[in-house]
A and B are shown apart, each in its own frame.
Chain A
């Protein structure tokens, strides 16, 4: 029973265009949502997060949107660059334990 779902295993976009990665969740009790980026043969690295009391958080080219009524969040990358090609995981933070619940991941390919 997947609490966090990324229904698109892969996404391909052209350099300079917008990349939109989506994530759905089932548990309304989560307070924070995070996005991680992972290159091959490396551990995931933190990208951006959003609190459930907000609907948008922006950091440079990366913006995360949260729609609580739809239990949906998305990560927008504008403009996309070839170096953004990686696997992106959304995650929910649960309680004061430091543990995360991850989605399945979406592989983004940005073509030059």
Chain B
């Protein structure tokens, strides 16, 4: 029962480096999203997807790209990392369109940009 799997769990990047945070779910959920958690800010939505081939921006999309080529995977790309992107990143998936449907979260990726 894997649920939502995020890799890596920890990452240190130098300013200007690029990387991809991986997210995979095995629940056949249509909806996936990326959040970042910062102290005093709660979780803020970066990008989300309502199905394969469809993505849209959330509250804080700048500096991040996403794609959704399959139902299972929703990678988050940092093209040129900045110290302001130091955060804990969570991927989530949701089963269907119901607005009360609970989201399932991965364990998070702690990213430090130096």
Seen from chain A, the residues whose Cβ lies within 8 Å of a Cβ on chain B are 4, 6, 9, 31-32, 34, 41-46, 49, 51, 89, 93-105
- Quick check: A100 and B45 within 8 Å, CB to CB? yes
List which B60-114 residues lie within 8 A (CB) of chain A.
Answer: 90, 92-94, 97-108
Q: Confirm or deny: B53 has a beta carbon within 8 angstroms of a beta carbon on chain A.
A: no
Q: Could you tell me the distance between the alpha carbons of A103 and B44 in the complex, rounded to whole angstroms?
A: 9
- Quick check: B100 and A32 within 8 Å, CB to CB? yes
Given known A-B contacts A34-B100, A96-B97, A104 and B105 have beta carbons under 8 A apart: no
- Quick check: B48 and A98 within 8 Å, CB to CB? yes
Which residue among A44, A93, A97, A99 has the maximum number of chain B CB atoms within 10 Å of its CB?
A: A99
Q: Which residue of A lies closest to B95 (CB)?
A: A98
- Quick check: B44 and A93 within 8 Å, CB to CB? no
- Quick check: B103 and A98 within 8 Å, CB to CB? yes
CB distance from A100 to the nearest CB of B (A): 6
Q: Could you tell me the distance between the alpha carbons of A51 and B99 in the complex, rounded to whole angstroms?
A: 9
CB distance from A108 to the nearest CB of B (A): 15
Partner of A49, one of B32, B97, B102: B102
- Quick check: A42 and B42 within 8 Å, CB to CB? no
- Quick check: A43 and B33 within 8 Å, CB to CB? no
Partner of B99, one of A32, A42, A44: A32
Given known A-B contacts A89-B43, A101-B45, A46 and B99 have beta carbons under 8 A apart: no
- Quick check: A31 and B43 within 8 Å, CB to CB? no
CB distance from B80 to the nearest CB of A (A): 26
Q: Confirm or deny: B24 has a beta carbon within 8 angstroms of a beta carbon on chain A.
A: no
Q: Could you tell me the distance between the alpha carbons of A4 and B45 in the complex, rounded to whole angstroms?
A: 13
Q: Could you tell me the distance between the alpha carbons of A96 and B45 in the complex, rounded to whole angstroms?
A: 15
- Quick check: A42 and B100 within 8 Å, CB to CB? no
Q: Could you tell me the distance between the alpha carbons of A70 and B3 in the complex, rounded to whole angstroms?
A: 37
- Quick check: B107 and A42 within 8 Å, CB to CB? yes
Partner of B103, one of A31, A42, A46, A105: A46
Q: Which residue of A lies closest to B108 (CB)?
A: A43
Given known A-B contacts A32-B100, A49-B100, A96-B97, A104 and B45 have beta carbons under 8 A apart: no
